[in-house]
Structure formats: C-alpha cells, structure tokens
A and B are shown apart, each in its own frame.
Chain A
Amino acid sequence: MAIHSNKLSATQYEKNFSDIHPPFETKDAALVEANRCLFCYDAPCMKSCPTSIDVPKFIKQITTDNIKGSAHTIFNSNILGAGCSKVCPVEKLCEGACVYNLMDEDPIPIAKLQRYSTEKAIANKWPLFRRKESTGKKVAIIGAGPAGLSCAHVLSREGVDVTIYEKEKKGGGLMTYGIAAYKVTPQFCKEEVDYILSIGGIEVLYEQELGKNVKLEDLQKKYDAVYVAIGVGLARQLDIPGENLEGVVDAINFIYTIRNTEFGKVPVGDKVAVIGMGMTAIDAATQAKRLGASEVTMLYRRTQEEMPCTEVELNIAKLDGCEIIWLAAPKEVLGTEGKVTSLVAEKMTLGEPDASGGRSPVSTGETFTIEVDMVIKAAGQTPFQQLVEQNQLQHKNGKIQIKNAATNLAGVFSGGDCVNGGKEVVDAVQAGKDGAAGIIQYLFPHSK
C-alpha cells in the first residue's frame, strides 16, 4: 500500500479516461432526438441556461440540416458552447427544465445535440463570426479562462483589440486544468481555445501572472480598460492535525497534475479518502479510482440532501465504486515516518435549522478511523484574497465586488469565479459577456 504512479496498463488508462458522454454516432441518431424537441415558446431550457442559449432554435436547425446556423445560435450566446456541452451539469440546468420531465419522459439530450453542432463547427473551423473593423481601443484581460475568453470574443467582435495575460502555458482555465479528463481532453481544450481565438484581434500572452510579472497599474496605463478574470484556485484548508503529512493533497493540484501529465505518471494512493462532495470532489474521487486506487472513500459533513454535486455526478462516483460516508467530518490525519496511514473522522448530525433555514452539521462526539495512504482535500476553493487586496480591488471575503461588471477601480472590470466565488463554466461565460457589455459601454459611451 503506497502512493505511486503507473498502476495500470496504457490500455486500461485509455479505457478509464475515455469520453464519459459519447457523442451521437450518426446524423440519424441526432435527428431522432432533435425531432423529439417540441420547440417550446419562451422555453424553460433556455431560461435555465445562464448564457440563455436559444435551445429550441439550435435544435430546430439540426433538423433542417442547417448545422452552421445551429452552431452560430449556440456560440452567439456562449462561445464556449462546445466545452459547456461536455462539462455543464445539465441535469440542473437546461435538461433539468425540459418540459418532457413533466411528462415523466426523458428530457431532450440538449448537451449531446449542442455537442453535435459545435464539434462540427470546430472540426471544420467554420468562421461563424466576423470581427468589426478595429476601433483602435485596447483592452487587457487577465486570465484566459472561460470568463476571459468569453469577454475577449465579444470585445473582438466589436472591433476592440484584446490582449490576454494568462499565467499558465495554455488557455481555457479550469476547463483545461480543473475538470475530469473523461469529460474534456487536453486536445479538445486546445482546439476550443484556438477556435475562439480564430476570430482574430485577440493576443494571448502565456506565463504572465498577476502579482508576479504582471501589474494591474501597468495594464491600466497601457490599455483603455482591463478585465480581471483570475478565477479562484486556493483549496480550502481543513485546519486539522496531520494536514501537512506526505499524502495529503488538494484536489485542484491533483486534477491539475492529471490534466498536465500522462496518466501513468500521476501518483495515486491505494486507499484514498476524498473530503467534500462538490463537483471537484467527484472529479478527484472518480479519477483517483480510474488511475488505479483500489479503494476510494468520500466523506461529507452533511447528508445527500445538502450535497453540492448533482445526483448524476454522485452516480458517476458510485458506479466507479467510490464509497460514500455521509455525516462525517475529518478530525485528524495520522501517519508514520511523515506519511499518511489513516484518517480519523467524526460522526456528525444535522443541528436545528438556523435563521436561514439551513441545518449545520454538529459533531456527535463519536469518531471512527479509516486506513488510507492518501487524502484529497476538496472542501471548496477560496479566492485569491491577498492578490485582490494588493491591487486595491474592493472585495468581500476575497470575492471582487462589481457593479455592472465594473470594480471600484476606474476602467477595471471583473467577472467569473473571482467575483462569484466559483460557479459553473457556463456562469463564467455569461460573466465574460456581461463584462464585455460593461466595457463597451465604458469605451463607447455615446454609441448604442
């Protein structure tokens, strides 16, 4: 029992990390589903999409063999529509609202149809958008994640020259670095970013990090406006004894390693505990299992009722053979010779509802111990509070405060995870659009 890499054969890795939501094999298969769509008016699916993609329209366009039009409809609302079709928790968004649910019928597979059109657009490099003539205005964007890219694309369409400063070597942000590999491949992420940038007018400077080799005040001087889309990224600490033992890792780093390395080179424990029950916790647990861990146990302080992940995600973990322990909070990590050997957890119970109606977990005093050699912390992420403070950005618990996308600093706008504290990719895309709208209004106050 130990943490090491190369637990499986290349074939097994390939199988374990193959696309979890395979695309339609044929046009006919897509048409069967597209033709089921009722073409609702003021459609609930559209209203449940943070970017308001006109779902009935893009599906109708599939049925009329107008795939270019379909892809345009999607990208016009969500330039990351291809990635979102793979990573969105659609069961609580568009598909969850599909009226077929009210007939106890399967909803339209909206994500799969969205993937059908957008993948064709990306594969064929369809130039669906044309950039307006350059206005001469220049905007700097910090972060080439979903919010930054979405903002950049809208600005470029309007003739603004955009420069993105990205701290990593690749664009895409969490899409590239923070999502389970069986949902999106590095290859796909690269193609998606390239497709977005193909409109022109957007330059991306890689390995440029705010607070290190990039200064906000310099950007403010050099550009007509700045959009801060730095995301979140610090894993919430457990603040328990033994947290520094070798074998305790945070989920963000663990997933980052998976996304940046060959599967065979990612170290994983034999018996792994994952703390948390959000989407990232699920991605960490399932991937630990798929990398060859023999036992993965997920611990969550509350019950299934309160879990942040969707039931669909929970089922992925269950089907992967992950154990779930509800009402359990980590108390101490034990180890020998500096390495993790076990995790002590407290049994919890839900307290009386507080003023907001929520029920906080309360310790029962009872504890139990599980033998583990790796502990993955996925109890949420915290904003880059220090960085935000250093740059005099007004914030609340590290989350940048905005009004119509504008921060307290003149000409500085912000959006995405660094503002909302960490939501879905699709929320960041909408934030990028809102940011661009705010910037356009700021740059061209007299135009409509």
Chain B
Amino acid sequence: MANISSNFLGIKSPNPFWLASAPPTDKKINVLRAFEAGWGGVVWKTLGSQVKNVSSRYSAVNYGGHKIMGFNNIELISDRPLDINLKEIKECIKLFPDRAMIVSLMADNNKESWHEIIKKVEDTGAHGFELNFGCPHGMTERGMGAAVGQDPEIAKMVVEWVMEKATIPVITKLTPNVHSVVPTGMAVVEAGTNALSLINTIQSVTGVDLDTLVPNPYVAGKSVFGGYCGPAVKPIALKMLTTIAQNEVTNKVPVSGIGGVSTWNDAVEFMLLGASNVQVCTAAMKHGFRIVEDMCEGLNNWMDEKGFKTLDDFIGKSVKNIVHWEDLDINYHHIAKINQDSCIHCGLCYIACEDTSHQSINLDFGKPYNTYSIKEDECVGCNLCQLVCPVSNCITMEEHRVAPESINWIEYQKRGLPLNDH
C-alpha cells in the first residue's frame, strides 16, 4: 500500500485532502465531523474584520440534469465572535492532534490589525496561516480580499507585515480575478510567504430567474456578483496552477491546489501539475464529508497501480508536459476510428463533424440505423467526434504521423514548409 500522508511545510496530515476555508470549516461541530470522517486537515474559515452576512447566500449552475456543476456564494468571512473561534480551534487541535489546522486570516488593512490577530491565533496552537487575498465579494469594497490580491504591491506589503510577526508557516491564497496570477504570486514569494494556494473563487453571475428577472442568489429583489467555484472552475484553476508551477520564482514554494476538486482523480491532476496537496469545499458542501473515504482509497489504489510509493513521487510530474504552442510537434497526426462493433448509431459524431468541424464522417443511410465511418483523408484529428461519442472506446484516435521526425513551429517556418494546406 502506498503512503498517502502529506507533509506541507512541515505540517503533517494523514492524507493530502484539506477542507478549504469556507462554511464547512467555520466551527467546531463541522470540523470535528470532518476529522472523524477522515479529512487530513482544515483551513479554518477566515477570521478578521467584523462582518454581517445576508440571506440568501448561494446559487448554482446545473447542467444536463446534474446539479451544481458550478456554485457561487456571496458569504463573507466568519461572522462568529473571534474569541469563540479561537477557543474552538484550540479544542479541535487537542482532539485531533494528527490533523492539519490552518487558519485563514483577513485583517483590516493595517499592520497592527494583522499583528494582533496573528498573535491571537498562534496562541491556539494552529499549524499555519492562510492569507485570504482572494475573496471577490463584500470584502473587496473595504480594500480587503481580492483587492489585496489584485495588486502585487499591496499584497507584498501585507505579506511583509505578516512575515514580521508570524512564527508558523504562512500560505498566501491567490485570487483568479486577474489577468495572470503570476505577478501577485511573485510579489508575495519575494515578500517571504512560505507557500501559495490557489485559486480562490471567480467573480460570477450564475444566472437570472426568468420569472422574477432577478439574478441569483436572490436578496430582497437584488443580487451581487458572487464567487464561483465547483467542478466548472477546475480547468481554470489547473491552468493558473500550472503558470505558478512553471514560474521560476513562484515554483520555489509549495502550492496547495484549490478549485473544483471533487474526487481523487481531480486531486491527482492538481498534484501532477504541481500542487503538494489539495483543498476541497464545494464537493463536500454537496455530498457531505464522507466523500473523503473514496478520495483516500482511490488515490491509494492509483498510486499502487502506477508504482508511486509517496506523494512526492508524482507531485509536479506533468508540469513539463505543458509547453508553448510553438513547441508542439507538427508532424504528429492522429485520425479517428469508429469501432463498428460498439457503435450504437446515435449519429452524434457525424452531426458534430458535419455541422461544426471538418465534414470527415461518412453517413450510409439505414433504417433505423445509419452506419458512420471516418473519411481518413479529411480527418484533422481534432477529437470532437470522440468527445461527443456516448460509448467509451468506441471512437479511438489512431496515430498516423506525417513523418517520423519531430518538428516544431519555429523549425517548420525556418524550412519554409507549406501553410494553409488543409
């Protein structure tokens, strides 16, 4: 059996699955239930300024009959009294000493406030801090949250204040509501943060109620931009994570991956692209804490199958496989192949290719079942047919190299090889 225990900046947890700073981690009762269920650690919901929440707070995007493909919230940081939070954090650490306890912070925008809260939280015995520079709603209007993360200079300044005081590891959480996460990432690493985490939620409107004409979530006939998360944001998170993992300044610190992690498979993808561990929220909010069981078992089985003994054996292994477009091998070519034995004649590949791609699929009419086959000379190997096919492994992409030699765009141009030739 593989060893799935995690060591993040010296903070140990029995597995790499932490609950992200959010409603599931805002009080003792939830956190104890999470630890009992098997979560490796939690990032306690952000402490700091005094706030007041509204009702309602959440809304979602459903797709094709599946609920919560994407999720957004307009909840602020913890609205519970600080002393109760601190007391409960201490109690949780005592009851589950083997789990990671990180506390998320967002103090008012001055050094004294940050220093004061750092001191109070360190007294609980917490293992680390996560600086909330990402919250995109409510706090930004006060110059906090994403307002800090969107400006590398301000972010750097706040991290410097924190590093003056903190004696335990500091993780800085980045906002995705920027053109690139790299400038802020670089600024806070230079300011001394021990690690990064990303992404926080993305500003969003999940939809508009077609009866009331009020967007979601509804608050007395109005709404507000909320923070988007859940499975829908995973691809964006993975891209941003990769830019951090490929930057020579930011890749010197460990990264905690966040953004739509719902399963062990998602977690492995984040870790392959450079995350040392992952944080989960939406999936737990949808299904409860029990999902961690399969996350651990699935990860373990996958590692055994691949021969990875520890997490470090595969963390970051796919980072080098994302390159610039101009580095891709132009002589690589593959062509779709339809396995007629498993084809169910739904025609989805045909109509997708015919209407929107390269007209590379033949249709032989039959009643009631048509037969579909690939026009090999026309197929550009775009994958669309395979993506829309409802049958696993019915359409496969078969390699047909143009030439054995690998050649990239730069070399291709240099040699004056033909363009616009399809």
Contacts and interface: CB of A to CB of B under 8 A. Distances in A.
Contacts of B346: 38, 40-41, 43, 99
A63 B64 CA distance: 8
Contact of B344 (A35, A42, A47, A103): A103
Interface residues of A, number: 20
A41 B391 contact: no
A38 to B, nearest CB: 5
Given A44-B369, A47-B368, A35 B65 contact: yes
A102 interface: yes
Contact of B368 (A31, A32, A35, A44): A44
Given A35-B65, A63-B65, A103-B391, A40 B367 contact: no
A111 interface: no
B348 A39 contact: yes
Contacts of B351: 41
B12 to A, nearest CB: 44
Interface of A is mostly: helix
A31 B66 CA distance: 10
B373 to A, nearest CB: 15
Contacts of A273: none
A198 interface: no
Interface string B218-260: 0000000000000000000000000000000000000000000
Contact of B345 (A34, A39, A99): A99
B327 to A, nearest CB: 37
A34 B65 CA distance: 9
B288 interface: no
B97 interface: no
A97 B370 CA distance: 12
Given A32-B65, A63-B65, A102 B345 contact: yes
B350 interface: yes
Interface residues of B, number: 17
A102 B344 contact: yes
Contacts of A39: 348
A6 interface: no
Interface in A49-95: 63
A41 B347 contact: yes
B390 interface: yes
A303 interface: no
Nearest to A63: B65
A116 to B, nearest CB: 15
A257 interface: no
Given A35-B64, A35-B65, A47 B348 contact: no
Which of B344, B348, B350 gathers most chain A CB within 10 Å?
B344
Nearest to A94: B368
Nearest to B64: A35
Contacts of A43: 346-347
Nearest to B66: A35
A48 interface: yes
B370 to A, nearest CB: 6
B347 A40 contact: yes
A41 B64 contact: no
Interface string A98-127: 011011000000000000000000000000
Given A32-B65, A35-B64, A63-B65, A44 B348 contact: no
B406 to A, nearest CB: 37
Interface string B385-398: 00000110000000
Interface string B345-359: 111101100000000
A402 B344 CA distance: 38
Contacts of A100: 344
B388 to A, nearest CB: 9
A66 to B, nearest CB: 12
A279 to B, nearest CB: 22
B350 A99 contact: no
B348 A42 contact: no
A34 B365 CA distance: 26
Contacts of B391: 103
Nearest to B352: A41
10 contacts: A34-B65, A38-B346, A38-B348, A41-B346, A41-B351, A42-B370, A43-B346, A43-B347, A44-B369, A47-B368
8 tightest Cβ-Cβ pairs between the two chains A and B: A35-B65, A41-B347, A44-B368, A41-B351, A99-B344, A102-B344, A40-B346, A47-B368
Interface of B: 64-65, 344-348, 350-351, 363, 365, 367-370, 390-391
Given A42-B363, A63-B64, A63-B65, 17 more contacts: A31-B65, A32-B65, A34-B65, A38-B346, A40-B346, A40-B348, A41-B348, A41-B351, A42-B365, A44-B345, A44-B368, A45-B368, A47-B368, A97-B368, A100-B344, A102-B344, A103-B344
